[in-house]
C-alpha cells in the first residue's frame, strides 16, 4: 500500500498530498563577517543560502580587527583558524603621547584589552576573504544588489506570524534593487550598523542606536614616522589621534576620534562636510595631527561615523532576523564587533537546526543575549579608556597607564568567553522544509 494514500473511512483510497522535501531557503543580506559565517553554518545544516551584498565585490581593505574568546572556537570549527593565525598581526606595543607628543607610557596591547596570547588580530579584509572562500562554492552570492522591499507574508503588524499554525504560510517575498523578485523561507539581515533590513522590518534606527558620545574618521596615510607593528595614540581631553602600523609597510591606519555631546546633524552623510568638521575639531592640535589632516583631505578611503551601539529588545520579527552589527553592534571601543558577529552567526544557525523559525529565533536570542550584553557593557557613554573626555579623566587614565607598563599582562576579559558553543553539529537530518518551517 502506498503510505501516502491510506484508506479513507469509507474504505476507498484517498489522495494525501505531501510536499516534496526541500531545503529551507535563506536570504542573507550582507557579505562581511556575520553574513558569510552564517551562510557557512546554515549550509552545513542543509539550508540553501543566497547572500546579497550591495558592494560590487568582497570588500578587501580595512583596519585590523580582533577575534577573541568564544569566536576563536567558531573560526576553528570553520577550518579557517590556521589561515587567520598566518594573518595575525603581532602588535608589539601601544605608545601613548601627551598634547606635546611626549611619551606618557608604552604598554603591551593586551594590557588594555584584556586579551590573551591566543587572541587574533587580523586585517579585516583577510578575515572576510577567509570566511567568503570557506563558503563561496556552496552559496549563491549576489554582488552589487540589495533588498529593496520585504513582504513578510503571514506576518501581522505586531510581528507575530501565523505560519506555525498555518502550514501554507509561504515565506518572505523579496524585491531586489536589481529588479528581481524571489521568495525565501527566511531573511536574515547581516548588513551592519546601518542595516537596511532592520529599517524595513523594525523601523527607524534612532530607536535602537545608543550613541556613545564620540565620532571618528578613519583612513590610510603614508607611514611618515616609520612605525612598525605598533600603534601610537596622542590624546588631549576629548580628542585622540592614532596611527596604527600593522606591519612595517609604507602605509598606516589613521584614526581621529573626538567627543561630542550629540551626533553631528546629518551624521557624516556628506564626505566634504565630514572632513571640514574633523579638521575644525583638530585645528589647533600638535604632534603629527597637521599631517594627518592633510592626508584626511587626500584620502580615498575615508570613513567617518558616530561611535554607537545597537540595542534592540528583539532580534527577529516573523521570518526575518538580524545578526552581527545589524542586531547588536557593540562599537569598536569594545573590540568585540567581529567576535559577536561570528558567535551570533554560529548560534543562529545552530538554533534554527531542527526547529521552525519561531522557536529557532527565540532559542537564538535566549542563548546569545547574555553574551552580547556582557560585551556591549564593556564600554559606557563617554567612558572609553582610550578617549578620556575631561582633563581629570585623562590624567587618571595616564596614571593608570604608567602603572600598567610596570605590570605583567592582565587576565583575559571574562566577557570574551562568556558563551560556550554547543557541540558542533553535522549536516542536519530532517532539515527539510515541510509545512510550517
Q: Tell me how crowded residue 299 is: count the other CB atoms within 10 A of its CB.
A: 18
Smallest separation, CB 100 to ligand FAD (Å): 26
**CA Rg, the chain, in Å?**
24
In sequence order, which residues have a C-beta less than 8 Å from that of residue 80 and are 6 or more positions away?
130, 131, 134
* Binding of residue 52 to ligand FAD (CB under 6 A): yes
Under 8 Å between Cβ of 192 and 326? yes
- Contacting ligand FAD within 105-124 (CB under 6 A): none
Q: Is 54 in the site for ligand FAD (CB under 6 A)?
A: yes
**Least distance (Å) between residue 277 CB and ligand FAD:** 17
Residue 94, interface with ligand FAD (CB under 6 A)? no
Task: Map residue 391 onto helix, strand or coil.
Answer: helix
Cβ-contact 329, 193 below 8 angstroms: yes
Does 176 bind ligand FAD (CB under 6 A)? Our answer is no
Residues in binding contact with ligand FAD, number by CB under 6 A? 34
For residue 85, give the nearest of 49, 107, 41, 117 by alpha carbon: 117
> In 160-312, where do the E strands start and end?
172-176, 181-184, 186-189, 209-222, 230-236, 239-245, 251-259, 303-310
Local structure of residue 13 (DSSP, 8 states): B
Q: Does residue 126 interact with ligand FAD by CB under 6 A?
A: no
**Closest CB to ligand FAD among 358 and 373?**
373
Query: In Å, what is the CA distance from 138 to each residue of 59, 265, 365?
Result: 20, 43, 27
Cell numbers for 309: 551601539
C-alpha cell at 307: 561611535
The helix/strand/coil state of 387 is coil
Asked if residue 53 binds ligand FAD (CB under 6 A), the reply is yes
C-alpha cell at 27: 536570504
Is residue 337 involved in binding ligand FAD (CB under 6 A)?
Answer: yes
The residue sitting closest to ligand FAD, measured at its beta carbon, is 337
Looking at the Cβ atoms of 31 and 295, the one nearer to ligand FAD is 31
Q: What is the 8-class DSSP label of residue 263?
A: P
As measured in angstroms, the least distance from the Cβ of 99 to ligand FAD is 23
Site string for ligand FAD, 226-265 (x = CB under 6 A): ----------------------------------------
Taking CB under 6 A as the criterion, the residue among 115, 171, 218, 382 binding ligand FAD is 218
Does 413 engage in binding with ligand FAD (CB under 6 A)? no
Rounded to 10°, the helix 357-376/337-352 angle is 160
Among 220, 316, 317, 339, binds ligand FAD (CB under 6 A): 339
**Number of C-alpha atoms within 13 angstroms, CB side, residue 418?**
18
Select from 135, 161, 118, 115 the least CA-distant residue to 44.
Answer: 135
Query: Contacting ligand FAD (CB under 6 A), which of 26, 28, 34, 217?
Result: 34
User: Among 324, 360, 382, 388, which residue interacts with ligand FAD (rule: CB under 6 A)?
Assistant: 324
210 contributes a contact to ligand FAD by CB under 6 A: no
User: Is residue 324 within 8 Å of 192, Cβ to Cβ?
Assistant: yes
CB of 417: closest distance to ligand FAD in angstroms?
Answer: 14
Q: Is 341 in the site for ligand FAD (CB under 6 A)?
A: yes
List contacts with ligand FAD (CB under 6 A): 29-35, 52-55, 59, 63, 65-66, 146-147, 190-193, 196, 218, 324-326, 329, 332, 335-339, 341
Amino acid at each position: 500500500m502506498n503510505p501516502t494514500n491510506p484508506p479513507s473511512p469509507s474504505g476507498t483510497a484517498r489522495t494525501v498530498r505531501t510536499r516534496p522535501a526541500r531545503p529551507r531557503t535563506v536570504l542573507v543580506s550582507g557579505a562581511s563577517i556575520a553574513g558569510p559565517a552564517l551562510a557557512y553554518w546554515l549550509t552545513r545544516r542543509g539550508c540553501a543560502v543566497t547572500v546579497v551584498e550591495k558592494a560590487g565585490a568582497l570588500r578587501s581593505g580595512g583596519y585590523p580587527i580582533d577575534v577573541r574568546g568564544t569566536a576563536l572556537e567558531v573560526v576553528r570549527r570553520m577550518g579557517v583558524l590556521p589561515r587567520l593565525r598566518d594573518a595575525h598581526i603581532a602588535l608589539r606595543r601601544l605608545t601613548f603621547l601627551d598634547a606635546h607628543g611626549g611619551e606618557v607610557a608604552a604598554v603591551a596591547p593586551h594590557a588594555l584589552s584584556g586579551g590573551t596570547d591566543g587572541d587574533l588580530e587580523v586585517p579585516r579584509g583577510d578575515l572576510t576573504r577567509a570566511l567568503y572562500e570557506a563558503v563561496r562554492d556552496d552559496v549563491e552570492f549576489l554582488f552589487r544588489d540589495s533588498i529593496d522591499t520585504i513582504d513578510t507574508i503571514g506576518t501581522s503588524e505586531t510581528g507575530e506570524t501565523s505560519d506555525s499554525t498555518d502550514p501554507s504560510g509561504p515565506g518572505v517575498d523579496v524585491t531586489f534593487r536589481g529588479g528581481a523578485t524571489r521568495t525565501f523561507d527566511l531573511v536574515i539581515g547581516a548588513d551592519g550598523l546601518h542595516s537596511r533590513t532592520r529599517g524595513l522590518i523594525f523601523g527607524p534606527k534612532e530607536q535602537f542606536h545608543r550613541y556613545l558620545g564620540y565620532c571618528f574618521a578613519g583612513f590610510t596615510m603614508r607611514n611618515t614616522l616609520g612605525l612598525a607593528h605598533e600603534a601610537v595614540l596622542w590624546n588631549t581631553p576629548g580628542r585622540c589621534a592614532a596611527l596604527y602600523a600593522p606591519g612595517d609597510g609604507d602605509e598606516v591606519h589613521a584614526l581621529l576620534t573626538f567627543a561630542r555631546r550629540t551626533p553631528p546633524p546629518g551624521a557624516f552623510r556628506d564626505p566634504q562636510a565630514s572632513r571640514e568638521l574633523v579638521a575644525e575639531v583638530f585645528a589647533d592640535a600638535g604632534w603629527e595631527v597637521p599631517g594627518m589632516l592633510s592626508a584626511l583631505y587626500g584620502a580615498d578611503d575615508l570613513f567617518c561615523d558616530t561611535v554607537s551601539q545597537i540595542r534592540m529588545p528583539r532580534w527577529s520579527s516573523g521570518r526575518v532576523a538580524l545578526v552581527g552589527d545589524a542586531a547588536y553592534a557593540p562599537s569598536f571601543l569594545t573590540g568585540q564587533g567581529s567576535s559577536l558577529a561570528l558567535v551570533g552567526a554560529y548560534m543562529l544557525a545552530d538554533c534554527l537546526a531542527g526547529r521552525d523559525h519561531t522557536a529557532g529565533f527565540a532559542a537564538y536570542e535566549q542563548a546569545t543575549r547574555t553574551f552580547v550584553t556582557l560585551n556591549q557593557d564593556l564600554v559606557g557613554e563617554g567612558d572609553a579608556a582610550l578617549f578620556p573626555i575631561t582633563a581629570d579623566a585623562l590624567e587618571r587614565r595616564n596614571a593608570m597607564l604608567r602603572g600598567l607598563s610596570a605590570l605583567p599582562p592582565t587576565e583575559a576579559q571574562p566577557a570574551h568567553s562568556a558563551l560556550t558553543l554547543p557541540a558542533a553539529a553535522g549536516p542536519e537530518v530532517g532539515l527539510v522544509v515541510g509545512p510550517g518551517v
